[in-house]
Amino acid sequence: MASEAQPIFDALVIGVGPAGLIIAAELCDRGLNVANLAPTAATAPWPNTYGIWVDELGSLNFPEELLEHHWRNCVSYFGTSTTQHQRDYGLFDKAKFQKYLLQRCATATWHQGKAEGIQHLDSHSIVTADSGVTADNGTTISARIVIDASGHFPALSQRPKQANVAYQAAYGVVGKFSKPPVEPGQFVLMDFRAEHLTDAERQQPPTFSYEMDLGNGIHFVEETSLAYAPAIEFDVLKGRMEKRLAARGIEIQEEQHIEHCLFPMNLALPDRGQSLIAFGGASSMVHPASGYMVGAMLRRGPELGAAIAKALQDSDASPQAIARQGWEALWDRDRLRKHYLYLFGLNALMGFEEERLNHHFSTFFSLPQSAWSGFLADTLTTQELVGAMVGMFGKAPNDVRWGLMRSVGGYGDLLWQAVAA
Ligand SMILES: Cc1cc2nc3c(=O)[nH]c(=O)nc-3n(C[C@H](O)[C@H](O)[C@H](O)COP(=O)(O)OP(=O)(O)OC[C@H]3O[C@@H](n4cnc5c(N)ncnc54)[C@H](O)[C@@H]3O)c2cc1C
């Protein structure tokens, strides 16, 4: 238990992934006394590579130097149609991004260990760690509010139990290829062409290739599945990637890095009555229709940071009262509504076979850019989102319309939840 001498921090952040550092930076920026608990050092390299549309970063006033790569030539292939996105895409320089956030966290106190339990008192919460994590080798850290940012399956935050979790899975290779898989300086968001597969394989859930020129003769090619329950296995993705490359007469000559990507897309929202707050994967913030989350964390971090700082101004506020204000900032009614609409979209897509999926995406990316980019970044109002979805329905060919109507039968409850939120 906490000894008398142990301080009570304003906030304790659990985790040092992007979510942990983004929210810790927001809280430190506001002059709060922040502690952090994670099993690794805050400077330990992040394992994943993160991409983002460049204008999203610009609209957030984040320096473009945080990007390691920036592509202007961005395309997708949906069956026989080619889509020029006319929009720039970038990959974060993850070391610079992490350093940038850590600089903003200069006043934070770092503890190394695993959070195992939490107890809420009237004035603060006490988190128990797996071993000695403080200077006096204590195993507890106290704070007025705890923010769980420990990833998609969080250490402390609670959410309803759920069957049929859908995962985005991908198998990728960074390396040298016998000939370039993409044009010089090109980025391919989705290559859904599938002529290299047998008829039987084309009856299976479709997968697409995500490809980029990283410069100096290095490319990244990743066979990706949007979201399926259960997840598509890595061996299947690897086999499909090899077949796709072979059909184009391309061999892998040198594998510099293999990426195994697997994360949940449709996890239930956290329990918003709990006396702590969750952020990032722990708060189900992955965009259910795309899998992207970093932009959302950068956009919503300041709102959450401001709400926590404001709630802490009341020195009598309990963890529950502070958490309530945090949850309201993070998951207000509009966001909840949109979340259920996105989940409806995801469920519809998961039921689409190859041809229908291609028709869907070529129609989606033919919407005005403000509509498709706002949909992907979650920056539309509910009204605008409904407008974009109706516009999509109006433009789509009949097979897509029929698929969407069929989904209303199967997943209409999500539309109802969007109305009732
Ligand atoms: C391979 C891959 C590629 C991805 N690419 C993109 C992309 O391009 N763009 C995008 O927007 N999203 C992407 N995502 C999705 C999402 O953004 C990531 O999953 C992101 O890493 C989630 O961030 P997070 O900080 O919530 O969780 P994590 O990155 O998982 O970090 C969790 C942190 O909590 C710590 N922790 C865990 N348990 C405990 C505990 N008990 N006590 C204390 N600390 C604990 C961990 O050590 C870690 O520091 C990708 C995901 C993967 C897997």
Do 134 and 20 lie in a common domain?
A: yes
Q: Whose CA is nearest to atom 46 of ligand 1?
A: 15
Are residue 409 and residue 353 in the same domain, yes or no? yes
| pLDDT value at residue 2 | 44
Centroid of ligand 1 to alpha carbon of 395 (angstroms): 36
Q: Check pocket membership of 17 for ligand 1, CB cut-off 6 A.
A: yes
- Single out the residue in 288, 314, 331 at which a domain terminates: 331
Query: How does residue 76 score in pLDDT terms, banded at 50, 70 and 90?
Result: very high
In the reported structure, the alpha carbon of residue 18 is separated from the centroid of ligand 1 by a whole-number distance in angstroms of 7
Query: Would you say the CB of residue 280 lies under 6 angstroms from ligand 1?
Result: yes
Mutate to test the pocket of ligand 1, among 49, 50, 211 (most ligand atoms within 8 A of CB): 50
Each residue's pLDDT tens digit, 147-166: 999 999 999 999 999 988 99
Residue 104: exposed, middle, or buried by beta-carbon count in 10 A (0-12, 13-18, 19+)? middle
Q: CA torsion angle for 259, 260, 266, 267 (degrees, to 10)?
A: -110
CA separation (Å) from 130 to 42, 44, 115, 134, 385? 18, 19, 6, 12, 44
The answer to the question of residue 61 being in a domain is no
Please report the pLDDT score of residue 85 as a whole number. 97
Q: What value does the mean pLDDT take over residues 388-405?
A: 94
- Report the CATH number that the domain containing residue 230 is assigned in CATH: 3.30.70
pLDDT in tens, 310-331: 999 999 999 999 999 999 999 9
What would the pLDDT profile of 249-274 be if each residue is shown by its tens digit? Answer: 999 999 999 999 999 999 999 999 99
pLDDT above 90 covers a percentage of the chain that reads 88
User: What pTM value is reported for the model?
Assistant: 0.95
Atom of ligand 1 nearest to the CA of 20: 25
Average pLDDT, the chain: 95
287 touches 339 (CB < 8 A): no
Q: Do 146 and 199 share a domain, yes or no?
A: no
Q: Does 95 reside within a domain?
A: no
Pocket test for ligand 1, best of 48, 167, 276 (most atoms within 8 A of CB): 48
**Inter-residue contact 287 to 214 (CB < 8 Å):** no
Domain hosting residue 382, numbered range: 334-420
Average of pLDDT values for 105-123? 97
Give pLDDT, residue 10.
98
Euclidean distance between CA atoms 39 and 23, whole angstroms: 18
Q: How far, in Å, from the CA of 152 to the mean position of ligand 1?
A: 7
Do both 326 and 408 map to the same domain?
Answer: no
Contact 104, 13 (CB under 8 A): no
Q: What is the mean pLDDT of residues 212-233?
A: 97
- The pLDDT tens digits for 162-210 are 988 999 999 999 999 999 999 999 999 999 999 999 999 999 999 999 9
| pLDDT greater than 70 at residue 5 | no
Residue whose CA is at the smallest distance from ligand 1 atom 36: 150
User: Which of 114, 133, 150, 276 gets mutated to test ligand 1 (max ligand atoms within 8 A of its CB)?
Assistant: 150
Q: Are residues 283 and 307 in the same domain?
A: yes
With a cut of 70, say whether residue 411 has pLDDT above it: yes
d(CA 367, CA 285): 25
Total number of domains in the chain: 3
What is the spatial distance between Cα 130 and Cα 112, in angstroms, rounded to a whole number?
10
